[in-house]
């Protein structure tokens, strides 16, 4: 049934493999062994999936490695279909307004946080490669705790950056490309204790 819906048995097996192993990469011969399909069929489907954007490729040690792109627009619903151990109820909740408040609360709980911004996969219409930007002399352990809350809700890894207040303010003042790209796109401000963004 699902093979017919998604076009081919090989594609379905590949989706199962990649979506159950986010963050893990595989090379072609390894994939053919794991899913027990012919190499030509695997190569063809990998090419299709690369074109669509479901997976990414990277070369290392003269081998081409493939892995699922967790920033793909439909990653979460695909993982809900193909992931074997995915808590779908939590992922459905993550798309609700309550999830945004849960993320904000987790971030606000970080002591000494001066500024917190959401972008990327957390803000509709954002093309930023950074999902969370945090500014302040914050505890790495507290940051990891907050990020885990967001990753659990989203069902994927989150790209985040932590900057000291001085570094952020300097980058803002010289119109640093990294900061400018975030500010020129869509973003949501969770914390801005010194109203830095209000002054920009």
Inform me whether the pLDDT recorded for 136 exceeds 70. Answer: yes
Q: Give the number of other Cβ atoms within 10 Å of residue 184's Cβ.
A: 10
Domain range list for the chain: 2-86, 91-199
Domain 2-86 has CATH 1.10.10.10: yes
Q: Give the number of other Cβ atoms within 10 Å of residue 105's Cβ.
A: 12
Confidence (pLDDT) at 86: 52
DSSP 42-55: HHHHHHHHHHHTSE
Task: Give pLDDT tens digits for 143-170.
Answer: 999 999 999 888 889 999 999 999 999 9
State pTM to two decimals: 0.69
């Amino acid at each position: 049934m699902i093979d017919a819906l998604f076009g081919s048995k090989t594609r379905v097996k590949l989706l199962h493999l990649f979506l159950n192993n986010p963050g893990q990469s595989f090379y072609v011969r390894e994939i053919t062994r794991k899913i027990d399909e012919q190499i030509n069929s695997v190569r063809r489907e990998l090419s299709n999936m690369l074109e669509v954007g479901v997976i990414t490729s990277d070369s290392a040690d003269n081998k081409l490695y493939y892995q699922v792109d967790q920033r793909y627009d439909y990653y979460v619903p695909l993982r809900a279909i193909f992931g074997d151990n995915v808590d779908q109820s939590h992922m459905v909740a993550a798309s609700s307004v309550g999830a945004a408040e849960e993320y904000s609360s987790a971030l606000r709980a970080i002591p000494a946080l001066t500024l917190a911004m959401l972008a990327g996969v957390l803000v509709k219409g954002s093309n930023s490669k950074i999902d969370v930007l945090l500014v302040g002399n914050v505890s790495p352990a507290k940051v990891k705790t907050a990020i885990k809350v967001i990753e659990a809700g989203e069902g994927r890894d989150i790209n985040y950056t932590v900057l000291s207040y001085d570094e952020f303010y300097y980058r803002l003042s010289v119109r640093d490309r990294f900061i400018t790209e975030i500010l020129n796109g869509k973003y949501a401000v969770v914390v801005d204790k010194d109203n830095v963004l209000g002054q920009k």
